A and B are shown apart, each in its own frame.
Chain A
Amino acid sequence: MSALNPAADLSAHGHDDHGHHEISFVKKYIFSTDHKMIGIQFLLTTLIMLLVGGSLALGVRFQLAWPWRAMPVVSQVAELVGGPNFIAEGGQISPEFYTMLFTMHASVMIFLVIIPILAGAFGNFLIPLMIGADDMAFPALNMMSYWFMWPAIICFGLSFTVEGLNAAPAQGWTSYPVLSAIRDSAPGAGDAQTWWLLGLTLVGVSSMMGSVNYMTTIINMRAPGMTLFRMPLTIWSMFITAILQAFALPVLTAAGFMLLTERTLGFNFFVPGGLVVNDGDPTVGGGQPLLWQHLFWFYSHPAVYIMLLPAMGMVSDMLACKVRKPIFGYKPMVYSMAAIAGLGFIVWGHHMFTSGMNPALGMTFMISTMMIALPSAVKVFNWIGTIWGGKVVFDTVTLNCVAFVSMFIVGGLSGIFMAAVPVDIYFHDTYFIVAHFHYVLFGATLFGCFGAIHFWFPKMFGRLMSDRVGRLHFTLTFIGFNGTFFPMHLLGIAGFPRRYADPYIHPYMEHLMPMNQFITICAVIMGVAQFLLIGNFIVSIFTGKKAGRNPWNANGLEWTAPSPPGHGNFDILPVVYRGPYEYSSPLVDGRDFLMQTELLPPAGDAGNEPAVDS
C-alpha cells in the first residue's frame, strides 16, 4: 500500500492485500500496531478514566456542599467491604482525604483523560486516515505509546494504595515543592508522591512517543496532492500540538526527575535550607522552590493548548461539515493555531503572578498572556463566520460544536481577568480560576470530544450512534455543566479559595454554602448524564444503524475508506485535488459536498465525472 503510484491503484480497487492473512486476537485487539485499534484503545481507556476522575470530583463536590457529612452510598459501601480508612470515622471525608481527592481528580483528568483522548485517541485514529496514509510512520512505537499509559495508570493507582488509602498524593496536581519534596510535609508526601511522579513521567514518555510519531507521519506520509494547506484543520492542530508536546514535555520530565532525585537520592534542587517542616529536622541545602514552578508551568501551560488545540481543529472540521460551508478563513485558522502555540511558550508566568517572582516578569507575562487571547478571538470569529450563511441542523455533533464555541468564549473571556496582574492578585487561587479552566478544559475540549466521538464513531465501528440519546446526553451535560461551573465565577468573586476542605469556618464564606449545594446537585446531574454517553457508545457498537463510508457527506479522505477501514485503511489509494472544506461548491450540482479525492473535469467539459465512492 505504500507504493505511491496513485494511477495504478485507482483502477485496481476493492482487494486490499492486507485483509487476507489472519491476525491473531492478541495482535489484533491487544498489542495492535494498527493506528485505528490503538486510537480506539486510547478512547476506551480515557472514557473509563473519565468516570474515575468524575467520581473523584463528585467526592470533592460532596464535601464542599455538605462538609463533614457521611457520603451517601460511598460510606455504606465502604462499611460493607470492611471500611477502608480513607474516610474518617462515620464515613465522612477527612481533610487529608479531601486534598487527595482533588489532587487525583486533576491528575486523572489531565494526564489520563484530556491529553490522551485528544492526541492518543483522536490523533491516532484520525491522522493517517485524514492524510491518506496506511498507518502511522512508526506503528510499533505507536503501540508502545499506548502501552506506556498502563504503567502510568498503575503508578497513579499505586500512589493511592502504596501507603494505605489515607496517604495518596495530596499536593495538588501542580505538586509544588516544598510540600511535594519533603516526606513529612503531608500524609501523602511519602512513597505515594514518588509513585505519582513516576506515573507522570510515564505519561510523558507515552505522549512523547505519540508526538514523534504524529510529526513524522504528518510530514512524510501525506497522500499525493495533500499539500500542507490542503490538510484538514484537525491535522494542523495535531501537528502543532505534537510540536508543542515535543518541545515542552522534556522540561516537565526533567523537572519530574529532579524532584524524584530530590526525594529519593538526596539531591537538592527545590528545597532551601533551614526549613522546619512538621517539626522535623531543619532542611539542609540551597534549592529554590520557584524553580519547580517555572519548569512545571513551562510545560503545563503549553499543555493547556495541547489539551485544547486538537479539539479546536476537530470542531472546525465538524462544524464546516455540519453547516455545509467552507471553513471561514482557513489560513487565519492555521496561523492563529500556530500563534497560540508559539505564544503558548512565553506565557507560563501568568500562573505565578503571586508567587513572588520578579515583578518585572509579571508585566511581560501579562502582555504576552493578553496577546494570546488575540488568536483565540480570531478563531472564535471564524467559527461564527463559518456558521454564518450555513445550513444548520441540530444533531448531536452540531450541538456539541456550538457548545464548544460558546463555552470557549466564556473560558477565554474569564481568562482576561486573570491575565491582568493586579486583578489576578485578588483572583489567584480562588474558584474564579476553577471556573475558568473548567470552561476551557471541559466546556471547550470535552464538548469538542463528545462531538468528535459521535462524528467519527461510524468510521471507528461502521455504525452510527443514536442521535436521540446523543442530544439528551448533550442537553443534560450542558445544563449540568453550566449549573456547576458558572456559579463558580461568583464564588471566586466572593473570594472563595481553591482546595479548602471546609471553607465555612471563615465567616466571610459562610453564606456561600447553599450555592455550593446547588453546584453539587448540578455536578451530579452532569456526572449521571455521562452514563448516557457510555451506554450509547457501547450499545451502538453492536446495534447502531449501519453507516456506510460517508454518512455525513463529508469531504475528508477518511470518508473514502470503508467503515471501519481494514488494515491499511484505503482500498483506493487517495489522491488529493483540493482542500477539505469545499462544501456547497458551485462546481458540482445536486449535492453540497466535493470530496478531496474527486477529480473534476476541466472547466467547460461537462459530464464524465468520476464516480464518488460512497
Chain B
Amino acid sequence: MQWASWSDFWAMGGYAFFVWGSYGVTAALMIAEVILVVRRRRATLEQLARAARMEKGQRNESSQ
C-alpha cells in the first residue's frame, strides 16, 4: 500500500487539486453521458408510444 492513511490518500502528496480535479471532471462527464443516453432512450420510447396511441385513436375514429 502506498498510503499511510485516508487523509494522506486524499492529500495526494500536495497535488490533491490537480489529481482530483482531473478524476472528478472525468467521472462527472462519463456519468453525465450515461444519464443523457438513458434519458434519450426513455424519451424515444415515450414519443413512439404516444405516436402509436394517436395512430390507433385515429384508426378507431375512422372505422366508426
Asked if A pairs with B, the answer is no
Which B residues are within 8 Å of any A CB, using their own CB? none
Which A residues are within 8 Å of any B CB, using their own CB? none
